[in-house]
Amino acid sequence: MAEVMPAGTRCLFIVGLTVSPKYQGRGVGSALLRWGTRICDDNGVFAWVHSSDPAWGMYQKSGFEVIRSLDVDLDEYAPCKPPGEGEDAKWGHYVFRYMKYLPKTPREEN
């Protein structure tokens, strides 16, 4: 952790951002994220997020960049095969992305 966030570093962590399925795809998540990135910009601090696989594109569009990723083979951890999927069924992979947002300077906002 010290290599990506030295001791004494000020930053924000996005612990969770969830939008009801009823409202997904309507810009609600992006609006919430803009609120958070404005806080970063106003305070000159960066933000970290441990993004789920489905959400990483939204973070990327909002200016976050992937710093590291972790590709997990779910079959290594699953206690059984997926139910009702056949003998050769697999759970597949899930990718976690560790993403960082750098604050914009006033010059970059124009």
Q: Which helix H or strand E contains 62, and what residues bound it?
A: none
Per-residue pLDDT for 90 more than 50? yes
Asked whether 13 and 47 are in contact (CB, 8 A), the reply is: yes
Asked whether 39 and 12 are in contact (CB, 8 A), the reply is: yes
- The class of domain 11-104 in CATH terms is alpha beta
Break the chain into its structural domains and give their ranges. 11-104
Per residue in 29-87, pLDDT (tens digit) is: 999 999 999 999 999 999 999 998 888 899 999 999 999 999 999 999 988 888 877 88
pTM for the full model? 0.77
Cα 26 versus chain centre, distance = 19
* Whole-angstrom distance, CA of residue 110 vs CA of residue 101: 18
Q: Which helix H or strand E contains 68, and what residues bound it?
A: strand 64-73
